[in-house]
Chain A
Amino acid sequence: MSTPLLLYIASVIGAIALILMMPRPEGTPASRLTPIGALLGAAALGGLWLAIAFKADLVTPDAFKGVVGLPATTFAYFYVFSAIAVAAAVRVITHRRPVYSALWFIMVVLASAGLFLTLSADFMAFAMVIIYGGAILVTYMFVIMLASQPREPGREDQAPEYDRVSRDPLWACVAGFLLLAVLLTVCFNADGTVQPNPAAAMASDAEVIATQLTDRGLDAESAEQLGSSPEYAADGVSNVERVGLDLFESHPLAIELAGVILLVSLIGAVVIAKTRVEDLFHAGRPVQPQPAEGEVG
């Protein structure tokens, strides 16, 4: 197929699916169409993968290594992880309860960590799980529990109105999927326009080891010999070492700036936390019936 027609069809189906799955007021006919939306969404994702499979003649598994650059066994994991990531992402934006949205977001993080592993970016995968899944999401969970609204009397099983009804799902989905269709077209035609930059390719293991040994005072010639010797080559240079070298050799200023940003946000967070808020909710005019003392804030 020369035109990415299948991509556009997948985008339209995906948009319809997402519109159907968005939270709506209960009792309306549209709120019963959620399962159909889920089915359509799965179809859209399948259509997307089918479009690229058609493009590359990926029907035979042997073709994978040459066409994609990764072995078929590795690339199978790409399909699994990206399907999980996209499905969980849809659940994040359609779930009515913030706690479950946050839990589904952990699923997105884990799936994209898996995708990083297929790209042999081990360090980033683990950093993602530790920082996002471990630190940021725990902060989110705390805030969700701190800032949960008391339920309306008689309707304790229901989430607040702003979680149950989304704002303009139709236009947001139309605009979003229009953007997605354009992005997908550009990505789809990448193999005609994008070229790898050979000059940017990283140094081989032997070169990295030789540079390290020279830095430690060994003369250049014997460093080179040692670097390509079998006992050093057996260990190789791990992904963590490569990222560390690139980080500290090529971006020292950026590290300092990142430290400054973290310090500033630390001070900012302390200032915000210490700001005395005039507590309208609890003092003068409660919007909802008062919760038990100590439950909120």
Chain B
Amino acid sequence: MPETLTALGLSHYLMTGAVLFVLGLIGFVTRRNLIIMFLCTEMMFQGVALSLVAGAKFHANVTGQTFVIFVLTIAAAEAALALGLVVMMFRRRGTLDVDAWQAMSG
């Protein structure tokens, strides 16, 4: 039988995951550069992935690791689309400032 995490060991990893997630969230809200904002969403993905893998270890299976593969898939798709949009928006306004696109909020 492989070694598993106890609930306390799990809480260590969950806390690190929560800190990464919240730091990404704060970065998304405060930074005004479009590219940094998308980088912060990737950081939130990292926190979630860490929690998933720790949960997998806790339950002694690999389902959490399988889920992380799908998280990676979505992250890659999101990065490709978002960065394409960012380049297009930069060419239109000449700035990466999100405030330059305030008119889109209606």
Contact = CB atoms under 8 A, between A and B. Distances in A.
Interface of A: 18, 22, 48, 52, 55-56, 66-70, 75, 78, 82, 85-86, 89-90, 92-93, 98, 101-102, 105, 108-109, 112, 115-116, 119-121, 123-124, 127-128, 131-132, 135-136, 139-140, 143-144, 146-147, 149, 160-163, 165-169, 172-173, 175-177, 179-180, 183-184, 187-188, 190-192, 194-197, 200-202, 204, 239, 242-243, 246-247, 250-251, 254, 258, 261-262, 264-266, 268-269, 272-273, 275, 277-282, 286-288, 297
Given A131-B76, A162-B32, A163-B33, A204 B1 contact: yes
Contacts, number: 299
Nearest to A165: B32
A147 B12 contact: no
B40 to A, nearest CB: 6
A273 B63 CA distance: 36
Secondary structure of the B side of the interface?
Answer: helix
B10 A190 contact: yes
Interface residues of B, number: 82
Interface of B: 1-16, 18-27, 29-33, 35-36, 38-40, 42-43, 46, 49-50, 53-54, 56-63, 65-66, 68-70, 72-81, 83-88, 90-99
Given A52-B8, A115-B50, A187-B18, A243 B69 contact: yes
A282 B69 CA distance: 41
A121 B65 CA distance: 7
